[in-house]
């Protein structure tokens, strides 16, 4: 196939601003229609009313919200955790663990990220031990053998890059040390706790997930028995508190600027506390948009979720592409003037280029009234 150019348009009609997300015509609501997330051609329409002012919304397409915190603790195997969302490129599960995994897990289907929503404890893996605490991303290269040993009840959002890898996004003009310095990435240590773990007697089973099915390989000893390693591949830990978000006082940056990990067909972004825009003409809440090429998922980890009403930590919203979304009415009141200086939220966003299906676990804790949450109180 020949590679084409975008169809060239540079046009304007009626009342409009020249700069996106700033100096909008008074009393209007801006909506962005865009290609390839926030990286392709886009149009900015200025509406008389908030574009989320629907009175009814019927059929299979709709904004959805799931209260994952309400899910019960699962079997101490990650492969027993309920599937929340999935497609061919990504699988998202939510897993609650109260006691140490009796065996090891190994994901043969792809790289994996464990996002620690709650709980503290240890990750033991081929490479050594890493402690974990809330807000940690634990990156596990495909095939790593690992187990978690919680010190307190643990809740994990698991994100699999099916049949491929996680990488870091290009930093471009910001330079390689922006957002977080690569030196902030912690790797496992072969410390005294790891050595003590190696010496535990007894048989150990390794539950391997391959093509979605689990096989168990049992050893008469603990196979995490390496005495050393070297190389440029290893599990890493990064905490959301180590992320220094990019912001502009004069421009509401698109969510893609908060990308933390990228895969072939989806990105994982982190919303961390950041100052609100101060320029009088700059938008101070997320802009209304369609983002017609991506399905958008947000997991609310901690804080006060400034653009969403009735959303608490442990909930997940899912906005399939195909309709316009944007701030809830309460947040919209602060579109141009924010009473606070900064946001106070930590959230994990997963944007997928291909449509997602809802898993049984999420469907069981769905809030069916979410579609009505844009209606003014
Ligand atoms: Fe969005």
Centre of ligand 1 from the C-alpha of residue 202, in Å: 50
Centre of ligand 1 from the C-alpha of residue 134, in Å: 25
271 C-beta neighbours (distance < 10 Å), count: 24
pLDDT in tens, 204-230: 999 999 999 999 999 999 999 999 999
Centre of ligand 1 from the C-alpha of residue 254, in Å: 9
pLDDT in tens, 270-280: 999 999 999 99
pTM across the whole model: 0.96
Centre of ligand 1 from the C-alpha of residue 167, in Å: 22
Q: Exposed, middle or buried, 241 (CB in 10 Å: 0-12/13-18/19+)?
A: middle
Centre of ligand 1 from the C-alpha of residue 321, in Å: 9
pLDDT in tens, 144-197: 999 999 999 999 999 999 999 999 999 999 999 999 999 999 999 999 999 999
pLDDT in tens, 322-361: 999 999 988 898 899 998 999 999 999 999 999 999 999 9
Copy the structure tokens of residue 273.
């506390």
- pLDDT, residue 376, reads 74
Strand 104-107 with 204-210, pairing: parallel
Centre of ligand 1 from the C-alpha of residue 172, in Å: 23
Please state the rounded mean pLDDT for residues 283-287: 93
CA 304 from chain centre, in angstroms, equals: 17
Centre of ligand 1 from the C-alpha of residue 197, in Å: 44
pLDDT exceeds cutoff 80 at 313: yes
Centre of ligand 1 from the C-alpha of residue 227, in Å: 46
Centre of ligand 1 from the C-alpha of residue 299, in Å: 13
Centre of ligand 1 from the C-alpha of residue 189, in Å: 39
Please state the rounded mean pLDDT for residues 58-80: 93
Please state the rounded mean pLDDT for residues 35-64: 95
Q: Are 238 and 272 in contact (CB under 8 A)?
A: no
Query: Under DSSP, is residue 328 helix (H, G, I), strand (E, B) or coil?
Result: coil
pLDDT exceeds cutoff 70 at 259: yes
Centre of ligand 1 from the C-alpha of residue 291, in Å: 6
Q: How far, in Å, CA of 242 to CA of 180, rounded?
A: 6
Strand 90-97 with 82-86, pairing: antiparallel
Between the CA atoms of 289, 290, 295 and 301, what dihedral angle is there, to the nearest 10 degrees? 20
Output 310 or 100, whichever has higher pLDDT.
100
Q: Exposed, middle or buried, 290 (CB in 10 Å: 0-12/13-18/19+)?
A: buried
| Radius of gyration for the chain, computed over Cα atoms and rounded to the nearest angstrom | 22
Centre of ligand 1 from the C-alpha of residue 296, in Å: 6
pLDDT in tens, 107-140: 999 999 999 999 999 999 999 999 999 999 999 9
- pLDDT, residue 377, reads 58
């Amino acid at each position: 196939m020949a590679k084409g150019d975008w169809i060239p348009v540079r046009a304007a009609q009626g009342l409009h601003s020249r700069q996106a997300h700033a100096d909008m015509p008074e009393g209007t609501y801006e909506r962005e229609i865009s290609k390839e997330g926030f990286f392709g051609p886009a149009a900015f329409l200025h509406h008389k009313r908030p574009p989320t002012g629907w009175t009814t919304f019927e059929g299979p397409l709709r904004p959805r919200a799931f209260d994952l915190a309400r899910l019960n603790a699962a079997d101490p195997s990650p492969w027993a955790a309920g599937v929340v969302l999935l497609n061919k490129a990504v699988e998202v599960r939510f897993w609650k663990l109260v006691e140490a995994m009796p065996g090891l897990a190994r994901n043969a289907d792809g790289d994996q990220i464990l996002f620690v929503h709650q709980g503290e404890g240890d990750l033991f893996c081929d490479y050594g031990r890493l402690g974990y605490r809330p807000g940690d991303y634990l990156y596990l290269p495909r095939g790593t053998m690992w187990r978690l040993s919680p010190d307190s009840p643990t809740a994990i959002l698991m994100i699999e890059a099916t049949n491929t890898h996680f990488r870091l996004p290009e930093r471009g003009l910001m330079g390689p040390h922006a957002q977080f310095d690569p030196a902030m990435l912690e790797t496992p240590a072969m410390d005294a706790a790891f050595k003590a773990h190696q010496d535990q007697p007894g048989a150990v089973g390794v539950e391997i997930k391959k093509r979605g099915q689990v096989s168990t390989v049992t050893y008469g000893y603990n196979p995490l028995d390496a005495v050393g390693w070297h190389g440029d591949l290893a599990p890493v830990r990064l905490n959301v508190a180590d992320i220094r978000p990019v912001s502009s006082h004069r421009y509401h940056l698109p969510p893609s600027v908060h990308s933390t990990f990228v895969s072939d067909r989806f990105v994982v972004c982190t919303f961390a506390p950041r100052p609100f825009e101060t320029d009088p003409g700059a938008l101070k809440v997320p802009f209304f948009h369609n983002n017609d090429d991506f399905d958008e998922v947000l997991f609310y980890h901690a804080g006060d979720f400034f653009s969403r009403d009735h959303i608490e930590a442990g909930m997940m919203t899912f906005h399939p592409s195909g309709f316009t979304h944007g701030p809830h009415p309460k947040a919209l009141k602060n579109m141009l003037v924010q009473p606070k200086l900064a946001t106070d939220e930590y959230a994990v966003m997963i944007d997928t280029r291909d449509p997602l299906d809802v898993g049984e676990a999420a469907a069981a804790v769905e809030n069916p009234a979410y579609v009505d949450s844009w209606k003014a109180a």
